[in-house]
Amino acid sequence: MIELKSRSEIEIIRENGRVVARCLREMSEAIVPGKTTPKQLDLLAAKIVADAGGIPSFLNYRGFPANTCISVNDTVVHGIPNDIPLQEGDVISLDMGVYRNGFHADGAWTYAVGEVSKDATRLLSVTKEALYQGIAKARVGNRVGDIAHAVQKYVESFGYGVVRDLVGHGIGRQLHEEPHAIPNFGRPHTGDVLREGMTICIEPMINQGTYRVNQLDDGWTIKTADGKLSAHFEHTVAITKAGPEILTLE
């Protein structure tokens, strides 16, 4: 059953979302090409969350071994932070959640490490705009398929691949709750009706090439099937009478 949130509950999620946004910003600002490692960024996020009185939502979730998901270049999502220094020209997706006062918030952003190629810059720009195209459809009375279709239509107009195997989701007392699937592809006017008080995660995962992905033997890391770059942007969003409210902002 979809749990509708009260105004006060949405404000708790927003406060947690501010911590998420701060973590993503500070992690990105800490990157020094050739020196900084994903594991160092993961520990930085853990400290910020702890200082805010929260708990990293991802740590030990279904056995995940880190505080954050850090995915580099052809890794789409669920990258386990490692000790390999980030290099000039990489793209890095930072994905994390914060649990505090009974609720979760979840967000992700993809950043350029130093100077990157024009192709990489374009992929990041398109994926980011696709997120906002989807958010614009997150209105009372619309359906999940309206969000999905908006993302797909925009992304595919640039020739990119919309990942099928991974989707957005409802969020609140649980990190993943109903609606359990908010895809980035599909037909408009289909799926669950969006109602006031719903809180959802919209998160386009977009590949430079094919939409197909493979999972590594670690049981977590998802990579593009053709080795091309991927980008991932995510906000936690509340459905309100006045329109969508982004909750993962500083």
- Please give the tally of structural domains in the chain: 1
Q: What pLDDT score does 219 carry?
A: 98
Q: Are the CB atoms for 207 and 229 separated by under 8 Å?
A: yes
Q: Could you give the maximum distance between any two Cα atoms of the chain, in Å?
A: 49
Confidence of residue 86 (pLDDT cuts 50, 70, 90): very high
How much is the average pLDDT of 182-203? 98
Peptide bond into 179 cis (omega under 30): yes
The per-residue pLDDT for range 239-248, each reduced to its tens digit, is: 999 999 999 9
Confidence of residue 92 (pLDDT cuts 50, 70, 90): very high
Q: What pLDDT score does 57 carry?
A: 99
Burial (CB < 10 A; 0-12, 13-18, 19+), residue 223, is: buried
Q: What pLDDT score does 138 carry?
A: 99
Give the number of other CB atoms < 10 A from CB of residue 105.
30
The per-residue pLDDT for range 125-142, each reduced to its tens digit, is: 999 999 999 999 999 999
Q: Is the pTM above the cut of 0.95?
A: yes
Whether 238 maps to a domain, the answer reads yes
For residue 171, give both structure tokens: 């969020």
* CATH for 157: 3.90.230.10
Q: Are the CB atoms for 202 and 138 separated by under 8 Å?
A: yes
Mean pLDDT taken over the chain? 99
Whether 242 maps to a domain, the answer reads yes
Q: What pLDDT score does 29 carry?
A: 99
Q: What pLDDT score does 56 carry?
A: 99
Whether 2 maps to a domain, the answer reads no
Residue 32 sits in which domain range?
7-246
The per-residue pLDDT for range 138-190, each reduced to its tens digit, is: 999 999 999 999 999 999 999 999 999 999 999 999 999 999 999 999 999 99
Question: H or E element: which one contains 91?
Answer: strand 91-100
User: What residue spans of the chain are helical by DSSP H?
Assistant: 7-29, 38-51, 118-136, 144-156
User: CA 121 → CA 53, 89, 112, 177, 229, distances in Å?
Assistant: 35, 10, 8, 33, 11
For residue 172, give both structure tokens: 């609140």
Whether 73 maps to a domain, the answer reads yes
How much is the average pLDDT of 21-40? 99
